[in-house]
Amino acid sequence: MSAGDVQKLLAPLILRGGTALPCRLLPGPMEAVTDGAWITQLTAHKYVTSWWTPFLRISTGVPRPSRLAAHLKPFLTAGLPFIAQLMGTDGSLLAAAAKGLFAAGATAVDLNCACPMAAVTRNSAGGTCLQKPSWIRETLLRMRAAVGDRPIGVKVRMGWQETSEFTHDIAPALREATPDFVTVHFRTVCEQYQPVPDGHARMAAAREALPGMTLIGSGDLFTPQDIVAMAEQCGVDAVAPARGLLRNPRLLAETAALLRGTLLPPYSDDDRREFLSGCAADGAPHGFLLQMAANLYGKASSQFNDFLAHLTAIHQPTLQPPCHRSASPTPPSRTI
């Protein structure tokens, strides 16, 4: 995507089989976040136009249709098109599960080969798969054989330890597998989320290594300006911020407004309070609410303390001050 093409982020992302996502500003999936109240509130506020599910871990068997339907229920209820994400190590099971997810209502299915969490990588899943590019290729081909003319994608990082792994090994495997879209996070697995000075250069290298393929960019997208810069400088076809939405749930809506040459009204403290109160009313866990309030206000702000008092008095009588809780909740298991 050249500088003149950045407006394409507002265009539908056309996928195989005649399906499409309404625009190319996509909410990245987040474990222990993209669920329940988060889905309900962002959908109700029209902050997103599509969804992307957290990974469904496929381990020893293919889930029954009823269990797949239960997993997808929040997204089906939201009424927006969505990408369903899979993770696992058995290509045959993943292919069968992909077919089941389409039958349950998914718009597209995505294979996660990027997650850097230790609980995932020590079980040889997620980002560990980048050490086996041939496995990624074969699994995507099995998924294609299973689902036919339905859109499939894959999420990767730039490598396990070195970015050279992407150019030398990972990209060739992806080109052979020809998924409908590839999501690239510009860090390696070993870098986790630590700062890197050359993120856009890495993404541009990924663009060059995957000519003609739909490339979705991810990594350090915290403001509308960050999103536009990645689109202009790296040639990505779409973007998928994740952590940026925790700082500003309106991020994608604000980006769309910027691209249209308009501005949304300032995101006021009342807006933040209303969003968080809605999450609380929808049953968001205490730890999630505390972390979201800290992200939106800052832990040292008077607004954060006021909201904490508000939750304690009205919504969550058992809520404890943040010093008694972990800054980030432990992700629940999604293994089926």
Are 121 and 127 in contact by the 8 Å Cβ rule? The answer is yes
Residue recorded with tokens 């996502």: 21
Helix 286-297 to helix 269-281 angle (10° resolution) is 170
- Tell me how far apart the alpha carbons of residues 33 and 27 are, in angstroms, rounded to a whole number: 11
Written as one letter, the residue type at 237 is D
Q: How far apart are CA 1 and CA 231, in angstroms?
A: 6
Phi, psi (rounded to 5 degrees) for 214 = -70, 115
Whether 319 and 311 have beta carbons less than 8 Å apart is answered as yes
Residue 1: the pLDDT is: 56
Q: Count of H helices and E strands in the chain?
A: 14, 9
Instruction: Provide the CB-side half-sphere exposure for 152 (13 A, CA).
Output: 29
Give φ, ψ of 34 to 5 degrees: -75, 85
CA distance 192 to 238: 22
Q: What is the CA radius of gyration of the chain?
A: 20
CA–CA separation, 190 vs 160, rounded Å?
Answer: 6
Q: Which two tokens stand for residue 260?
A: 């249209």
Per-residue pLDDT of the chain (336 residues; tens, 9 = 90+): 554 589 999 999 999 998 999 999 999 999 889 999 999 999 999 999 999 999 999 999 999 999 999 999 999 999 999 999 999 999 999 999 999 999 999 999 999 999 999 999 999 999 999 999 999 999 999 999 999 999 999 999 999 999 999 999 999 999 999 999 999 999 999 999 999 999 999 999 999 999 999 999 999 999 999 999 999 999 999 999 999 999 999 999 999 999 999 989 999 988 998 999 899 889 898 788 888 899 898 888 888 888 778 767 755 444 444 443 333 444 444 444
Domain spans in the chain, listed from the N-terminal domain onward: 3-260, 269-324
Q: How far apart are CA 62 and CA 128, in angstroms?
A: 21
266, with CB counted inside 10 A (0-12, 13-18, 19+), is: exposed
pLDDT number for residue 287: 82
Between CA 34 and CA 30 the distance in angstroms is: 5
- Structure-token match 């969505």, residue found: 82
Residues whose CB falls within 8 Å of the CB of residue 280, separated by 6 or more in sequence, listed in order: 37, 289, 311, 315, 316
Give the pLDDT score at 105.
97
What pLDDT does 259 receive? 96
Q: CA-CA distance, 95 to 252, in Å (whole number)? A: 31
Dihedral sign computed on CA atoms, order 7, 9, 15, 18: negative
pLDDT of 311: 67
3-260 CATH pick, 3.20.20.70, 3.40.50.10540, 3.40.50.10310, 3.40.640.10: 3.20.20.70
Helices 199-209/224-234 angle, 10° precision: 40
